[in-house]
Amino acid sequence: MSRDESCADVTIHRVGADSVRPLRAAVLRPGSIPGTFTYPDDDAPATGHFAALLGGSITGVVTMLEESCPHRPDLAEPAPRLGAWRLRGMAVDPDLQGRGIGSRLLTRAIAHALDHDARVLWCKARLGAVSFYLHNGWHAFSPAFELAEVDKVGSVRLMRFDLPGAWP
């Protein structure tokens, strides 16, 4: 696909955690040992991993998993279903960014959470990606803050996607 072409030939698929980890690591944690960039709930049954495929190659990945927002403990009830879902591991092949692949992955991931009766969608957005989420209808609800050193991410902002009645 040349830089001028759209992502019309890209298809989005639900895949296993093993399929998203290589691109997740390459884009979000370059230099990490292959297979080590995992999330605690990667293998939870409800967790949704999605990949954008083009010609058999994975060009983008994202994960949507059920996790309460630590900065909004008031939204962690009612147990046992949290109703809060976290977007993680959003990454598009650097050569194919800016063609709508990330937006399509985001839409699919949101649909997955809604299929599971999500009440709250949130993420920690790297500062460089905040505009991407804003463009896609998300809202920032925190100032920038530093993540723990182990994440090597730098500053992030908490962002949410509004669902009716979810955010008082």
Ligand X SMILES: CC(C)(COP(=O)(O)OP(=O)(O)OC[C@H]1O[C@@H](n2cnc3c(N)ncnc32)[C@H](O)[C@@H]1OP(=O)(O)O)[C@@H](O)C(=O)NCCC(=O)NCCS
Give me the residues that bind ligand X (CB under 6 A), please.
27-28, 90-92, 97-103, 125-126, 128-129, 131-132, 135
Q: How far is the CB of 162 from ligand X (least distance, A)?
A: 18
Nearer to ligand X, 21 or 126 (CB): 126
Nearer to ligand X, 16 or 154 (CB): 154
Q: Which residue is nearest to ligand X (CB)?
A: 102
Nearer to ligand X, 78 or 154 (CB): 154
Q: How far is the CB of 78 from ligand X (least distance, A)?
A: 28
Q: How far is the CB of 132 from ligand X (least distance, A)?
A: 4
Q: How far is the CB of 135 from ligand X (least distance, A)?
A: 4
Nearer to ligand X, 9 or 77 (CB): 9
Burial 107-139 (b: 16+ CB within 10 A, else e): ebbbebbeeeebbbbbbbbbeebbebbeeeebe
CB-CB contact of 147 with 154 (8 Å): yes
DSSP string, 127-155: GGGHHHHHHTTEEE-S--EEPPGGG---E
